[in-house]
Amino acid sequence: MIRFALFGAGFIGKVHGVNIATHPRTKLQYVYDINTAAATELANRFGAKVASSAEEIWAANDVDAVLIASSTNTHADLLSGAIKARKPTYCEKPIDMDMNRVKAVVQEAHNNPVPIMMGFSRRFDPNHRALRKAVQNGEVGVVEMITMCCRSSAPPPISYIKVSGGQFRDQTIHMFDLLCWIANDAPAEVYATGSSMMDPAIAEAGDVDTSMLILKFADGKLCYIDNSRHTGYGYDERIEVFGSQGLVESRRKPVREVSLYKGAKQIDEGLHPGWFERMEPTFMLALDAFVTALEGGEADYATLMDGLRAQTIAEAATESLHKNAPVKIEYWQPA
């Protein structure tokens, strides 16, 4: 039984808390949040303890691993604390908004290795995994083009957008991680363009809600990504890989695979109302992979270096958006 301490008792923290408490090989041991009432409510629900500080968790002998689901501005410091305390860590993205701080934490982890998983749970979506397996097995031949779509059903609150770092750092970063994972490669250049089409307040916050990106790899293959902060039909996420011998596609996923045939009409189920409803199962699958790895089994998950890579692409894409020009992507490695 792996005993977890959870940082963060907000929306996503509660999701992780429930998963830890109900997973057959883990136990929710501690919950910490600056909102003591939220931490107490979650802890009491599952018989966990409420930690009074991060330091209490670092010193605890009854904590085998930690899960960081607190606000973004706390991630780097908590990762650093976990590294020093030698606690394996599952951390939600991003590492930090400041790339210098990101590099410092990555360097610290490089000098003092400890298992760290980044929360890119989309890797555990069965459709996306089947697509990647087909690509890795050579089913489509040499990859030439990858097309990705990420359209949220509704934008987050403006208060969140103002601190999110922008669409590429917040929303598209999941696609950047999937792209590298599927291609087993990293793009060398990105060109991004975008507009604010739905809400003037998003533009006033310095962000876009509608965007397109073209990424080019050193070997010539291309990737196109389109993003939107809203749809009129539900959450829409798709991936297509086109190669020299065929094509593989992870399609839109309806709520149910049910069609009604009536007269001359075919009526199909609609899409999930939001990203969470579409991706909720991946959070438990991701936790299970991390637990399996800690137990000594084989598991494929996004590492801290994968998190750095996705953020590096997001930074270059943001620069391209502001410059209205292609930007070369320069990847940093710890010494």
In the predicted structure, residue 297 carries a pLDDT above the cut 90: yes
- Lookup result for tokens 């489509």: 140
Q: Which two tokens stand for residue 308?
A: 């750095």
79-88 burial code (b ≥16 CB/10 A, e <16): bbbbbebebb
200 and 322 co-located in one domain:
yes
CB 75 within 8 A of CB 91: yes
**pLDDT reported for residue 90:** 98
* CA-CA-CA-CA torsion sign (226, 232, 238, 243): negative
Whether 134 is in a domain gets the answer yes
76 and 197 co-located in one domain:
no
204 and 95 co-located in one domain:
no
Provide the mean pLDDT of the chain.
96
d(CA 258, CA 195) in angstroms, rounded, equals 36
In the predicted structure, residue 191 carries a pLDDT above the cut 90: yes
Whether 283 is in a domain gets the answer no
Percent of the chain whose pLDDT exceeds 90:
98
CB 238 within 8 A of CB 253: no
**pLDDT reported for residue 180:** 98
Model confidence at 174, pLDDT cuts 50, 70, 90, reads very high
Q: What is the DSSP string of 24-71?
A: TTEEEEEEE-SSHHHHHHHHHHHTPEEPS-HHHHHH-TT--EEEE-S-
Whether 296 is in a domain gets the answer no
* Identity of residue 181: W
**pLDDT reported for residue 83:** 98
d(CA 210, CA 198) in angstroms, rounded, equals 8
Radius of gyration of the chain from Cα atoms?
Answer: 20
Which of 320, 166, 182 is CA-nearest to residue 248?
182
**Final residue before a domain boundary, out of 86, 114, 142:** 114
d(CA 95, CA 76) in angstroms, rounded, equals 6
pLDDT tens for 226-252 read 999 999 999 999 999 999 999 999 999
134 and 251 co-located in one domain:
yes
92 and 203 co-located in one domain:
no
193 and 248 co-located in one domain:
yes
87 and 154 co-located in one domain:
no
In the predicted structure, residue 257 carries a pLDDT above the cut 90: no
**pLDDT reported for residue 138:** 97
106 and 130 co-located in one domain:
no
Q: What angle do CA 293, 182, 215 make, to 5 degrees?
A: 135
DSSP state of 220: S
Across 14-43, average pLDDT = 98
214 and 269 co-located in one domain:
yes
pLDDT tens for 136-170 read 999 999 999 999 999 999 999 999 999 899 999 99
| Structural domain range at position 35 | 2-114
Across 50-63, average pLDDT = 97
**pLDDT reported for residue 201:** 93
9 and 103 co-located in one domain:
yes
pTM: 0.95
Residue 38: which CATH number? 3.40.50.720
**pLDDT reported for residue 31:** 98
10 Å CB burial of residue 295 (0-12, 13-18, 19+) is exposed
**pLDDT reported for residue 78:** 98
Q: CA distances (Å), 257 to each of 6, 44, 243, in order? A: 35, 38, 28
Grouping H, G, I as helix, E, B as strand and the rest as coil, residue 243 is strand
Task: For strands 222-228 and 143-151, give the pairing.
Answer: parallel
Which uninterrupted H or E stretch holds 111?
A: helix 99-111
Whether 203 is in a domain gets the answer yes
Give me the phi and psi of 89, to 5 degrees please: -135, 135
Residue 218: which CATH number? 3.30.360.10
171 and 151 co-located in one domain:
yes
